[in-house]
Amino acid sequence: MAGASGLGTGPGAAGGDGDDSLYPIAVLIDELRNEDVQLRLNSIKKLSTIALALGVERTRSELLPFLTDTIYDEDEVLLALAEQLGNFTGLVGGPDFAHCLLPPLENLATVEETVVRDKAVESLRQISQEHTPVALEAYFVPLVKRLASGDWFTSRTSACGLFSVCYPRASNAVKAEIRQQFRSLCSDDTPMVRRAAASKLGEFAKVLELDSVKSEIVPLFTNLASDEQDSVRLLAVEACVSIAQLLSQDDLETLVMPTLRQAAEDKSWRVRYMVADKFSELQKAMGPKITLNDLIPAFQNLLKDCEAEVRAAAAHKVKELGENLPIEDRETIIMNQILPYIKELVSDTSPHVKSALASVIMGLSTILGKENTIEHLLPLFLAQLKDECPEVRLNIISNLDCVNEVIGIRQLSQSLLPAIVELAEDAKWRVRLAIIEYMPLLAGQLGVEFFDEKLNSLCMAWLVDHVYAIREAATNNLMKLVQKFGTEWAQNTIVPKVLVMANDPNYLHRMTTLFCINALSEACGQEITTKQMLPIVLKMAGDQVANVRFNVAKSLQKIGPILDTNALQGEVKPVLQKLGQDEDMDVKYFAQEAISVVAQRLRKLDFPVKDSGEGSVPRADKNHFPRPRVPGEDTGKGPVYQLHGDTRDTLAQLEIAELVHFSQSRD
């Protein structure tokens, strides 16, 4: 099947004279007909290489007709083709020939799979910008008209996304035709087409003249906002934001607000949800006067909506609503018209609503000031800190910095502590993990004395949690606390408690000691590391569990750069050499790796180093690659893994081979 290209599918198609210049297109056809989807997909992804090999004329005359007429494939292949064609203008001869790319993309814009159609429309929009105004009317606008009048709904939905890119550069007569086509799609019999038109209504309105917006777009908006399908009505709400930005205050009041009021009270909760979700954008577009007269009452209704999803969406917008209000009226409006509804939401029956409110309510403190925060908001914060839902308590704690700027965290400390303790011991490990991440922030705000008295024991308890992710996060938490409170605090408070864990009967807890030392050594400095931490690490080299021993080797490698030369040569190196002769292969491997790092450290310090003579072990655990050998190294253990100096050249050769793949003959 040569398709429109008129070519055969084998090497013989090159012709009797032995010229193999046609071979790339033959390879493409062969691979496109292959039963293996991956081969066909790879072939499509190499279209640019093939087009380069063919040249612009043969790409236009052979490749594109073939793609237009003979491609009926899997969706992922068509998706790749639609994406490739969007960047093909330069490969067909530049903007003068961009119209050659329209036929295959037109076909792709009519397929059943939505993702393929969307990608084809995206490529068509991209190519439309490269058309001259004359070519746009000659080639692109007729394509849009064909799609808009197609028998199958798929082509009509694709057309909706193309009106806005061709309208600005069209002549007045053509503009009138385009507007007429769009109007017909907005009243299409198929709900999917009306949905597509509603989703592009705001985008289309932005490129129209103001008179056309008032006379044509606003009536379309009104009709779509009262459509029988709620999926169409909710998209009209989204378009309202773009339309409102184009109109004056008087026009907004008379043309848009009646429809928006209707949407805010729509019988479908999905439409009301969309109004709540887009409330901040609507507020900015409508202006302060309409916000005060119409949007605030609508927002109050959304906050007490019968559907929890709507109340949660509205609660999320409380802070943004306050920030967008005029500065002079902001405090009064929130206190008198919004706060009473917020107080009801604090005890809402839905945890999603309470969680949404808790994520933003702290931000109101910066808007209302210190006195109002203490008198009105603080009781709400305290109530949420005692909420039975862990997400609510967590959202309050995660935004404490907002309150700290206004009233100081001490006001919350008495209620804060029980909430933190409950979250720290929550059955869900992800909740425990989240509170750990906020601990450095809390520590900085509460101060070292309060932290040592109330929270230190919690931080140490996390180190022996049964979930590894918690132990890991607790280790990183200690490092951040040391950076915040200083090395003296670490030496007196943290380090002794960590080192005691080295004698724990549970080997996982002993390993946590090593992880803590790895994290704390850099923050604590050389003196504390050498005098307090190093002896414990060296002692643990004799542990009965191999996992502990090879983590000792990794720890010595980690803290090596911090230690002085005497400690490295006199204490660390002998222990590593002993571990290098361990019976466990993993221990040997990590010991040898650590020896190499320590040796390099000593060489940099001009300290005499003797070769240990220890061979490395070719096997590593599944999470580590064998270390690269130095040139000439011989382990006596057979072949070794090496990194060659010509790796970059090899990669370059592979890239060249990939480029010339289609010009080489194959058996």
- When pLDDT is cut at 50, 70 and 90, the band that residue 449 belongs to is confident
For 542, what's the count of Cα atoms within 13 Å in the CB-facing half-sphere? Answer: 6
pLDDT of residue 515: 92
The region of weakest confidence among 8-22, 38-52, 174-188, 422-436 is 8-22
Percent of the chain with pLDDT over 90: 20
pLDDT for 101 beyond 80: yes
pLDDT of residue 68: 77
Report in angstroms the alpha-carbon separations of 538 from 290, 315, 499, 535, 578: 73, 56, 12, 5, 11
pLDDT for 602 beyond 50: yes
pLDDT for 415 beyond 80: no
Cβ 42 vs Cβ 74: under 8 Å: no
pLDDT for 303 beyond 90: yes
pLDDT for 548 beyond 70: yes
Please, which residues have CB within 8 angstroms of residue 92's CB and are 6 or more apart in sequence?
51, 56, 59, 60, 64, 98, 100, 101
Q: Residue range 571-579: average pLDDT? A: 89
pLDDT 10s digits, 360-396: 998 888 888 888 888 888 888 888 888 888 888 888 8
The region of weakest confidence among 149-163, 515-529, 598-612, 633-647 is 633-647
Rounded Cα distance between 278 and 297, Å, is 16
pLDDT for 656 beyond 70: no
pTM to 2 decimal places: 0.69
pLDDT of residue 149: 87
pLDDT for 621 beyond 50: no
pLDDT for 631 beyond 80: no
pLDDT 10s digits, 27-37: 666 776 677 77
The region of weakest confidence among 11-20, 135-144, 178-187, 334-343 is 11-20
pLDDT of residue 659: 37
pLDDT of residue 25: 60
Nearest C-alpha neighbor of 568 from the set 542, 540, 607: 607
Percent of the chain with pLDDT over 70: 84
Q: Which is more confident, 55 or 663? A: 55
pLDDT of residue 173: 86
pLDDT of residue 274: 94
Q: What are phi and psi of 549, to 5 degrees?
A: -65, -45
Q: Residue range 453-457: average pLDDT? A: 82
User: What are the DSSP calls for 37-83, one per residue?
Assistant: HHHHHHHHHTHHHHHHHH-HHHIIIIIHHHHHHH----HHHHHHHHH
Q: Which is more confident, 130 or 12? A: 130
Rounded Cα distance between 245 and 599, Å, is 68
Q: Which is more confident, 565 or 69? A: 565
Q: Residue range 632-656: average pLDDT? A: 37
Rounded Cα distance between 439 and 474, Å, is 10
pLDDT for 620 beyond 60: no
pLDDT for 13 beyond 80: no
pLDDT of residue 637: 37
Highest mean pLDDT among 40-44, 270-274, 374-378: 270-274
